Amino acid sequence: MADLSAFAITQRWPAAHPDRLQLYSLPTPNGVKVSIMLEEIGLPYEPHLVDITKNESWTPEFLSLNPNGKIPAIVDPDGPGGKPLGLFESGAILVYLADKTGKLMPNDPARRYETLQWVFFQMAAVGPMFGQVGYFHKFAGREIEDKRPLERYRDESKRLLGVLETRLDGRSWIMGDDYTIADISLLGWVRNLVGFYGARELVAYDTLKHVPVWLERGLARPAVQRGLDIPKRS
Ligand SMILES: N[C@@H](CCC(=O)N[C@@H](CS)C(=O)NCC(=O)O)C(=O)O
């Protein structure tokens, strides 16, 4: 049986199955990337709910795994060399799981880098910009009288959706016929922007053709549907 006692996070979120990969998360657009990935690849894992609305990601136990205080994070008891590995940042976790299992990442080196390019595009642009739209359109920022911040993030998000629209013209998935971690990284964010954030009209989503079809195609995958609800909110 794996010994995870070196990971202080297991004191607050004890592992019932220490031989399984431990997931610390909440079903947000960043959190669901990892739960969808885990559901897709079929690796046994144990999900733990970290309630960020109660600041649980800022507890010493969580910070011991991710000093940046954000979900998602994992501990894999069977990391490189058979040793336990702790990891944070959803993009790094997606790449790690793809490498570990040989799934959802093209083998061809050039196509692998192309996939990574789109994962980084999500991490560096789509996530941060859509997140700001959420803040200024739906959450506390909507009370701010000066609408320039909202307009700035709206315009940039529309531009980013345009980049995706062009990429998906003639392609089923970001990497063509191959469904990859690039799609997994992006699906939850586009869904959230037009769903939970209520920004469908704001970003003129219905003027797009290829992005909505791709989103529906992604949401139709059973593993995506399951992953969107893991860990279950209390
Ligand atoms: N770049 C990070 C971002 C993670 C992130 O922003 N997580 C949010 C939830 S979507 C969070 O934990 N927020 C809690 C807080 O800031 O208090 C990743 O992709 O893992």
* Residue 177 pLDDT grade (very low, low, confident, very high; cuts 50, 70, 90): very high
Query: In whole angstroms, what is the distance from residue 213 CA to residue 206 CA?
Result: 11
Please tell me if the CB atom of residue 70 comes closer than 6 angstroms to any atom of ligand 1.
yes
For 30, 33, 67, 103, 185, the CA distances from 92, given in Å and listed in that order, are 12, 11, 15, 15, 11
What is the predicted pLDDT for the residue at 22? 98
Please tell me if the CB atom of residue 178 comes closer than 6 angstroms to any atom of ligand 1.
no
* Cα-to-centroid distance, 1 and ligand 1 (Å): 31
What is the predicted pLDDT for the residue at 39? 99
Please tell me if the CB atom of residue 71 comes closer than 6 angstroms to any atom of ligand 1.
yes
Atom number in ligand 1 closest to CA 70: 12
- CA-proximal residue: ligand 1, atom 16 (nearest): 70
**What one-letter code names the amino acid at 8?**
A
What is the predicted pLDDT for the residue at 134? 98
Q: Is pLDDT at 62 greater than 90 in this prediction?
A: yes
Tens of pLDDT along 79-138? 999 999 999 999 999 999 999 999 999 999 999 999 999 999 999 999 999 999 999 999
Tens of pLDDT along 183-208? 999 999 999 999 999 999 999 999 99
What is the predicted pLDDT for the residue at 133? 98
Please state the rounded mean pLDDT for residues 44-64: 98
- CA-proximal residue: ligand 1, atom 5 (nearest): 70
By CB neighbour count within 10 A (0-12 exposed, 13-18 middle, 19+ buried), where does 212 fall?
A: middle
- At residue 178, φ and ψ (nearest 5 deg) are -95, 120
Average pLDDT, the chain: 98
* Cα-to-centroid distance, 108 and ligand 1 (Å): 31
What is the predicted pLDDT for the residue at 124? 98
Q: Is pLDDT at 164 greater than 90 in this prediction?
A: yes
Contact 161, 189 (CB under 8 A): no
Q: Is pLDDT at 234 greater than 90 in this prediction?
A: no
